[in-house]
Chain A
Amino acid sequence: MRRFEVALPESLDECLRLLADRGPESKLLAGGTDLLPQMKNGVTTPKRVIDLTGVAQVHVLERDAKTGLRIGSAVPARQVELDARVRDDYAAIADGAALIGSVQVRNLASVGGNLCNAAPSADMAPPLLALEAQAVIAGPKGERRVPLSDFFTGVRTTVLGPDELLVEIVTPPPGPRSGGSYLRHTPRRELDIAVVGVASQVTLSNGVCAKARIALAAVAPTPIRATAAEASLEGKALTPELIDRAADLAVQSAKPISDQRGSADFRRHLVRVLTRRTLTTALARAGA
């Protein structure tokens, strides 16, 4: 790696002061599982790396019955994967966290880093999009909240300015009789990048689907919602036929490219299959 300075802030305020000063030539470091490979490959060459290890505010993982789940931006995926509160009520998030990298990567890789790196294939994005999470961002002018659906602006780009920091991700409680699931297709079991990823989240009421959210990874420049598919399910009983039809509609929302991981056609096929599977699992989990 090219040589760089390191800053070791002990508070969020100190971190923001550092960013206000030399934000554009700095990079924030949480788990380093995206940043260090990029630095080693010369893809990114910051003059200064700001280590978040000592900033307590970005390491919180809390659940509140009213406000929901708060995931600090530097919380490792493995912690989220194993947390009973996440697995119980926000299962799609635990599903996504469990799939990142390997165990050795997940003990470092942060949820926030996965979002800020903003790969189209980011595994944390579809579950958090399907659960309508919000990004809490701190900057020189204070704090702002951005719905995650507005957070991604293009391939590897987000709304974050060079003097801003993602502090945490807040996910509202999905409500009773809710269930979710995230699946992705990869050629290898571990240490791979999603060819396609799909998250489904449903809430039932009086035997019908009151709310459905479906989000897709790796089939557009950013992670996206499959809104037509969602609309086709709301207010109806989720039969296998309806789920199949929603899977077809999800394909229509996808704009995949062909690359070394798969052709556009293969990706469209995967969207159909994974939408059907995750909706079926989400429904089962909602009923349980």
Chain B
Amino acid sequence: MAKQILSSTINGEGVEVLVQPYETLLDALRENLGLTGPKEGCGTGDCGACTVHLDGKPVASCLMLAVQARGRSVTTIEGLSDNGVLHPLQDAFVRHGVPQCGFCIPGVLMAAAALLAENPKPSEEEIRYGIAGNLCRCTGYTKMITAISEAAQAAVPRSA
């Protein structure tokens, strides 16, 4: 079967790209669009490293076919900052020294950004639950929760 034209809004820009019918959204973002922020940690929706926003909601991009994003809006970690200005979450992660190997971080930030968009002042329990779909082998999550909590306290509401 021939490649399909995927028309989508990616990180705020209208995009048209050719994709294979059997390509996942994660593959299309990484291979066809050069957006290597989202990562393949497991490929089965269990680790959260591939988390992107689909119409503002966090999803496992490894479980979507690229063609399912047609006519919809996708935001990756590359789209979280605004014209070079870091999102408060990114800023807090840097200042607190959250990343170790860094592999899980784009997924965690996208999950956390979606959490704060829905729940601007989450409790610690709510933060833990909000990133419960993201696995991290390195950090033990403690600094992540501190950083997310601080970013939430400091944040002026803005769209992710």
Contacts and interface: CB of A to CB of B under 8 A. Distances in A.
Interface of A: 1-6, 8, 29, 31-33, 36-37, 40-41, 49, 51, 53, 78, 101-105, 107-108, 189-191
B63 A6 contact: no
Interface residues of B, number: 32
9 contacts: A3-B20, A31-B63, A33-B63, A36-B45, A103-B111, A104-B59, A107-B57, A189-B132, A190-B133
A158 B134 CA distance: 33
Chain B at the A interface: SS class: mixed
Contacts of B48: 102, 104
Contacts of B111: 103-104
B46 A6 contact: no
The interface centre, meaning the residue of B46, B65, B67, B134 with most chain A CB atoms within 10 A of its CB, is B65
B24 A101 contact: no
B60 A104 contact: yes
A53 B70 contact: yes
Which interface residue of B48, B60, B132 has the most chain A CB atoms within 10 A?
A: B60
Given A6-B67, A29-B65, A107 B59 contact: yes
A121 B130 CA distance: 24
A225 B20 CA distance: 44
Contact of B65 (A3, A32, A104, A190): A32
B46 A191 contact: yes
Contacts of B67: 6, 8, 51
A40 B43 contact: yes
Q: Which 5 A-B pairs have the closest CB atoms?
A: A102-B133, A6-B21, A5-B1, A190-B132, A37-B44
Contacts of B4: 6
Contacts of B59: 104, 107-108
Contacts of A49: 21-22, 65
The secondary-structure label for the interface of chain A is loop
Interface string B87-125: 000000000000000000000000100110000000000
Nearest to B58: A104
B51 interface: yes
Nearest to B66: A6
Contacts of B57: 78, 107
A6 B60 contact: no
Contact of A53 (B21, B60, B68, B132): B68
Nearest to A79: B57
B35 interface: no
A1 B45 contact: no
Contacts of A191: 46, 132-133
Given A103-B58, A105-B133, A189-B132, A37 B45 contact: yes
A53 B63 CA distance: 14
A29 B4 CA distance: 17
B63 A37 contact: yes
A8 B70 CA distance: 10
A189 B60 CA distance: 18
A101 B62 CA distance: 14
Interface string B35-71: 0000000011110100100100111101111011010
Given A5-B21, A40-B44, A108 B60 contact: yes
A32 B63 contact: yes
A78 B58 CA distance: 11
B22 A102 contact: no
Contact of B64 (A2, A3, A102, A108): A108
B22 A104 contact: no
Nearest to B69: A53
B132 A102 contact: yes
A48 B82 CA distance: 40
Given A33-B60, A78-B57, A104 B68 contact: no
Given A32-B68, A53-B68, A103-B58, 10 more contacts: A1-B22, A4-B21, A6-B1, A8-B70, A33-B60, A36-B63, A40-B44, A102-B60, A103-B132, A104-B45
